Chain A
């Protein structure tokens, strides 16, 4: 889901290695004597330099670990097999974790940068999954839309319905995850993307089955490389990847379809049984600093909710980019995923399997 270019991957890998070496070298006392903080974040979702900066400034050692999807992260955190302090899940997963009593309330007095720098509208939006803004601090946000290759389509793409156009058979890339794929079909029919109504879901499922022969592949990370390489004309993609792909291939254009879409937020949370709560607060506060957040934004190109950071973006085009910072008030059909409960999840998974096996 959230990936950046390869050379950076190597860099990140070496940082993690360094962190690991540091840990074994210094034992439990920590490198600067200020202990450690154990962070569990999306793959390639941070500028590794900011971690080094944090370590230098605070003397707190960062142990950094990565996950690929919310669903892979959850059982690892829930079972307590590995003890983490700070995790960065998405909206619906945060509400699931709140329900499961897995998160600690955040003391915002210790994280002054959060309220100071993060735009109020993002906290407002986060109320969809964290009703009292008690458990999470927004880190990245974005939309899901269509990326298309201007040289490969006959007319501008504006609607999800064009993903069902036979003209583009074998030229369409869909997201290979349950909720994202169903979101597309649900929005196409004007349903809520959080629906659990069996009839609506049946219709959405049948649409996805109808679409399957036209789909070239269901992909997660590969959508980026395939679109850059001109493998497909249209792909469903996260807005944060769009800026990066456009840099690599100027023929690509990103659009939020007229039927509306998913606005997602990934937020920092502190786990209830985190061993280093104070350091976790320091870490989140550091990440909310304008100069740090802008570094991360430039590295990962996912929209930052950090107003101070946005002001620091030097490139006017990016600062005012409709992709990175769309004016959400223009749309009235945007939604954020909420946790559907165990039964809802099971229903979606069952239907998704029917789509895939068809």
Chain B
């Protein structure tokens, strides 16, 4: 029985080794060596140089803002969904997931066309004699792109966590005299923490590492850490520095995973 199970898991083990473990080892190899192949920490410490540190700071700032906006938008929605009947909420969830069937790049490109100076939104605003908005190629457009692209990743774990809260717990709180605000802050919010944590990491990590959104909606004028890494690989052919900086980013991802593991012991917030 055991050997059979092992055999069944072989494809997955192979998959993880070939597509996760080996690439990870290669990143560590490149990140910790220089062009001659000698060991060095220079690629890691390079994060402290002015340009890299600035790019990292900006990435963290923009992804924190985006995560916060996603959270504030998603939480009420998730609460509404969790209180709905099955037939209704599955439709709304479908609406949320539907855009994800379209390629992420195309959707981001569409925002570019929408936001351009003579783009769709501004044409409509001009037609209505309203002032135009000029956020394309600014950090605001990047935040918009991040929120738009990653919002579903916040909604779904929150919804999952909220819908698992036992109705009786809330009723008990009410019976004991708690008002709505009390119930929310003492019961609902604490019970949804696993969902919040998993939602935050599902939004924060991709937002932190993105380079497509910033180059498409930021006009390549705003350099995020993802753009730096992208350029090291594709333009500067410096795989060592690119890998070194990727390792630094991994630290943030690991911190996130630790947070998830601490708060989400039962895996309640896991996405679907």
Chain A residues within 8 Å of B, Cβ to Cβ? 69, 71-72, 74-75, 176-178, 212, 215-219, 226, 229-231, 345-346, 349, 353-354, 356-357
Contacts and interface: CB of A to CB of B under 8 A. Distances in A.
A216 B235 contact: no
B219 A218 contact: yes
B237 A74 contact: yes
Nearest to A225: B113
A72 B219 contact: no
A2 to B, nearest CB: 17
B236 interface: yes
A139 B144 CA distance: 43
A287 B249 CA distance: 47
A318 to B, nearest CB: 29
B135 to A, nearest CB: 12
Interface stretch (B6-14, B93-101, B220-228): B220-228
Closest 6 CB pairs of A and B: A217-B219, A218-B220, A357-B51, A349-B236, A357-B223, A356-B223
B118 interface: yes
Interface string B108-144: 0000000011100000000000000000010000000
A219 B137 CA distance: 11
B234 interface: yes
17 contacts: A69-B235, A71-B234, A216-B219, A217-B219, A218-B221, A345-B236, A346-B236, A349-B231, A349-B235, A349-B238, A353-B51, A354-B50, A356-B51, A356-B227, A357-B54, A357-B55, A357-B223
A231 B115 CA distance: 11
Contacts of A230: 118
A229 B119 CA distance: 9
Contacts of A74: 237
A353 B229 CA distance: 11
Interface residues of B, number: 20
Given A72-B234, A216-B137, A353-B51, A231 B220 contact: no
A137 to B, nearest CB: 26
Contacts of B238: 346, 349
B237 A231 contact: no
A69 B118 contact: no
Interface in B220-269: 220-221, 223, 227-228, 231, 234-238
Contact of B221 (A217, A346, A349, A353): A217
A215 B117 CA distance: 14
B137 to A, nearest CB: 5
B100 to A, nearest CB: 24
Given A71-B236, A357-B50, A357-B228, 4 more contacts: A212-B221, A231-B118, A346-B238, A356-B220
Contacts of B54: 357
A346 B234 CA distance: 13
A221 to B, nearest CB: 12
A231 B235 contact: no
A285 B128 CA distance: 59
A230 B237 CA distance: 35
Nearest to B228: A353
Contacts of B234: 69, 71-72
B157 to A, nearest CB: 34
A315 to B, nearest CB: 31
Interface string B174-203: 000000000000000000000000000000
Nearest to A356: B223
A71 B221 CA distance: 20
B137 A217 contact: yes
A20 B137 CA distance: 39
Nearest to A222: B112
Interface in B27-69: 50-51, 54-55
A354 B234 CA distance: 17
Contacts of A354: 50-51
B42 to A, nearest CB: 13
Contacts of B117: 216, 231
- From B54, B117, B227, B235, name the one whose CB has the most chain A CB atoms within 10 angstroms: B235
A215 B238 CA distance: 27
Nearest to B58: A357
Given A230-B118, A231-B117, A178 B235 contact: yes
A354 B54 CA distance: 10
Contacts of A216: 117, 137, 219
A356 B223 CA distance: 6
Contacts of B221: 212, 215, 217-218, 356
A307 B75 CA distance: 67
Given A231-B118, A349-B231, A176 B137 contact: no
A217 B118 contact: no
A183 to B, nearest CB: 15
Nearest to B109: A222
A75 B237 contact: yes
A346 B232 CA distance: 10
A356 B235 CA distance: 14
A42 to B, nearest CB: 15
Contacts of A215: 219, 221
A71 B219 contact: no
B192 to A, nearest CB: 38
A354 B117 CA distance: 27
B185 to A, nearest CB: 42
Contact of B118 (A71, A229, A346): A229
Q: Which of A216, A226, A356, A357 has its CB near the most chain B CB atoms (within 10 A)? A: A357
B139 to A, nearest CB: 13
